[in-house]
Amino acid sequence: MGRLVTLMTSQWADLDMEAMCKLAKEMGYEGLEIACQGKHLDVKRAATDMDYVLEIKELLKKYGLECQAISAHVIGQCVGDYNDPRLNNFAPADLKDKPEEIRKWGIEYMKYSAQAAKNLGAYVVTGFTGSPIWKYLYSFPQTTEEMIENGFQEIYDLWSPILDVFKENNIKFALEVHPGEIAFDYYSTERLLEVFSSRPEFGLNFDPSHLIWQGVTPHVYLKDFIDRVYHVHMKDAAVTLDGRSGLLGSHIDFGDLRRGWNFRSLGHGDVNFEEIIRVLNAYDYQGPLSVEWEDSGMDRIAGATEACEFVKKVDFPASDIKFDEAIAN
């Protein structure tokens, strides 16, 4: 029996929850990583209303699905980012263009996410932190070390009260290392985990698709940070540099073939998933393998169905013997 294969529901938040459950089961999934957005999970209600929680649990049971993780990506982004008009897409409409109120909302609702996860019987909340220093990615105009240090400290200060609630509820927070976050590659992850070294409730949601196009080898990253990997996304990407395109994307939307890289359905990109499974086996990771399906060039039902099959095939079990034991004298 392989690890639980789940579907992250953010990209399907246009469907109501029962339609999501029914479709996920039809596509072969064994569980959901339920998004706290769209039509899926009202995180405040899930934190405070056990009748609502029971409704969700019964719906999952009806379709034979489990929930070991919930996703609070868009909420968490509102904590670490500030005064970005794009956050209007994430926060409630009545907070439009009110950055202080959006941040307060993000902090409050991230606390709710820990309580909601506990009530649902999940063990982890995946998500983003946001970043006050992402705008400094390219160090011009000149960026001082003090500016970077202050950015990491700001994230620590903003997230510590949130993590207190996670600790109280025995829930892990798993940051999806990702462009736009305080940690977006290998060394920014290393630095962030040093900042949060005293907070074991803070860890990582490993997603290889955000590493491969940056030139970071996913299974090497996974091995080095495995002790803080609390959840795993199965997601692929392909680098297609052609002499014109660049890795920074040229302000061209995802899916456009002029881009230097794009997310791809599992097995259609450059990620070596066999090496990832070997690392997970070596370190006995027993959490879900959660498909975050994103491919602008493929039908999502066909793609997510194929992706589920791909994960079940690639998730080979670890050996419980030495291969040459049978020939020992």
- Residues with Cβ within 8 Å of 326's Cβ and at least 6 positions away in sequence, in order, are none
Contact 155, 188 (CB under 8 A): no
Q: What is the mean pLDDT of residues 254-269?
A: 97
How far the first Cα of the chain sits from its last, in Å, is 32
Query: How far is the CA of 322 from the CAs of 148, 224, 286, 325, 326, in angstroms?
Result: 48, 25, 21, 5, 8
Q: Is the peptide bond before 141 cis (omega within 30 degrees of 0)?
A: yes
Give the residue carrying structure tokens 């025995």: 170
Q: What is the mean pLDDT of residues 235-239?
A: 98
> Given pLDDT bands bounded at 50, 70 and 90, which one contains residue 326?
low
Q: What's the alpha-carbon Rg for the chain, to the nearest Å? A: 20
**What domain count does the chain have?**
1
One-letter amino acid at 127 equals G
Q: Look at residue 1 in the predicted model and tell me its pLDDT.
A: 62
Above 90 in pLDDT, residue 2? Answer: no
Which tokens hold the place of 153? 């400290």
Above 80 in pLDDT, residue 329? Answer: no
Q: What is the mean pLDDT of residues 196-207?
A: 98
Q: Look at residue 48 in the predicted model and tell me its pLDDT.
A: 98
Higher pLDDT, 8 or 323: 8
CATH code of 154's domain: 3.20.20.150
Residue 96: give the domain boundaries. Answer: 5-327
Q: What is the pTM of this model?
A: 0.96
Query: How far is the CA of 237 from the CAs of 242, 264, 265, 272, 307, in angstroms?
Result: 16, 5, 8, 11, 13
Above 80 in pLDDT, residue 51? Answer: yes
**pLDDT (tens digit per residue) in 145-196:** 999 999 999 999 999 999 999 999 999 999 999 999 999 999 999 999 999 9
Which tokens hold the place of 81? 């980012």
**pLDDT (tens digit per residue) in 25-47:** 999 999 999 999 989 999 999 99
Query: How far is the CA of 245 from the CAs of 199, 239, 258, 259, 270, in angstroms?
Result: 40, 10, 6, 6, 17
**pLDDT (tens digit per residue) in 100-137:** 999 999 999 999 999 999 999 999 999 999 999 999 99
> Given pLDDT bands bounded at 50, 70 and 90, which one contains residue 319?
confident
Above 80 in pLDDT, residue 227? Answer: yes
Mean pLDDT, the chain, whole residue set: 96
